[in-house]
Amino acid sequence: MTLAATLFADGAAYERSMGRWSQLIGHQFIEWLDIPAGLAWLDAGCGNGAFTEIVMQHSAPEQVTGIDPSQAQIDYASKRPGCSGVRFATGDAQDIPLPDNSVDAAIMALVISFLPDPDKAARELARVTRPGGTVATYMWDTAGGGHPANPINAAMKALGLSRPGAPHNGAASLPRMREIWQAAGLEDVETRVIDMTVTFPDFDDFWQSNIISTGPLGKALNALAPDQSAALRAKLQQDLCPQGPGPIAYRAFANAVKGRVSKA
Ligand SMILES: C[S@@+](CC[C@H](N)C(=O)[O-])C[C@H]1O[C@@H](n2cnc3c(N)ncnc32)[C@H](O)[C@@H]1O
């Protein structure tokens, strides 16, 4: 299993920490794709099925395949009631286990920054998609401050605590996404920023949902010494709840790209 896949070895934990934000922002992404009903989809890096479920709800697909290198994520996705009928399998977006021209839409939701070779993945997505079909991706703009964990990243930085993020964040910028899509031979390439509001009923919910040990952030938070963790918690409480206890709300945003496979 790749390093990136081992970061996400618990589907339920992912759901509590990040899956809910994937779902909220994923609705805007799928509306932007504007893909008709009755088609065949590939969800590459489907994880615990957070976005796959949106495809099922929103796009009335004829068939959906979901692949992810993490068996634990695939196990969770396979039991997700909203993903009934999806063909899930372990697999790598850089070496997709599907024949050429076998789907109408191939997408990767919140995956590109975990790939050592995003260009190869884009070529693979294009290869498995029929002429005229859509290839698309979106990723939190971590470098621009758009990740839902941005307040934690900022607080850790202020306290001098190290925090490894997704290993290949450079692939998540709009210019780089456009470049990767064009280099893969895709046409009519478009990019956009997708915005959402992250909300928590109170600070405790915010803290509990982030200290779950999954993904790069959860792993980093769980590796802190008790005094570092206490200092971070106190700083975040000050930053996010300056008026005292109450709900928390802040902006998160992702970059997205879509293109079409040439009919020529
Ligand atoms: C942040 S999660 C996103 C999951 C899901 N697509 C969503 O929208 O919530 C990143 C996912 O990328 C997967 N991943 C890591 N390396 C991969 C690769 N080489 N090919 C496909 N998926 C990969 C991880 O296992 C993980 O499930």
Give the closest residue to 110 by CA, choosing from 148, 65, 61.
148
Helix (H/G/I), strand (E/B), else coil: 22? helix
Nearest residue (by CA) to ligand 1, atom 24, is 5
Q: What's the rounded mean pLDDT across residues 194-218?
A: 87
In the predicted model, what is the mean pLDDT of residues 242-254? 93
**Nearest CA, atom 23, ligand 1:** 45
Instruction: Categorize the per-residue pLDDT at 7 as very low, low, confident or very high, splitting at 50, 70 and 90.
Output: low
Ligand 1 in reach of 70 Cβ (< 6 A):
yes
> Which of the four pLDDT bands, split at 50, 70 and 90, describes residue 120?
very high
How would residue 50 be classed by pLDDT, with cut points 50, 70 and 90? very high
Show the 3-state SS of 97-121: CCCCCCEEEEEEECCHHHCCCHHHH
| Alpha-carbon gap, residue 145 to 111, rounded angstroms | 17
pLDDT digits (tens, 9 = 90+) for 15-46: 777 778 888 899 999 999 999 999 999 999 99
CA distances from 204 to 7, 69, 141, 157, 201 (A): 24, 32, 25, 21, 8
* Domains (range + CATH), the chain: 3-147+167-196+252-260 (3.40.50.150)
97/103 Cα distance (integer angstroms): 12
pLDDT, position 117: 96
Averaged pLDDT, 90-105: 98
pLDDT at residue 151, as a whole number: 94
Per-residue model confidence (pLDDT) at position 62: 98
Q: In sequence order, what are the beta bridge partners of 250?
A: 198
Burial (CB < 10 A; 0-12, 13-18, 19+), residue 201, is exposed
Whose C-alpha lies nearest to ligand 1, atom 8? Answer: 109
Helices (H) and strands (E) in the chain, counts: 11, 7
- CA 108-24-256 angle, 5° bins: 40
- The average pLDDT across 157-169 equals 81
Query: Does residue 99 carry a pLDDT above 90?
Result: yes
Residue 73 Cβ inside 6 Å of ligand 1? The answer reads yes
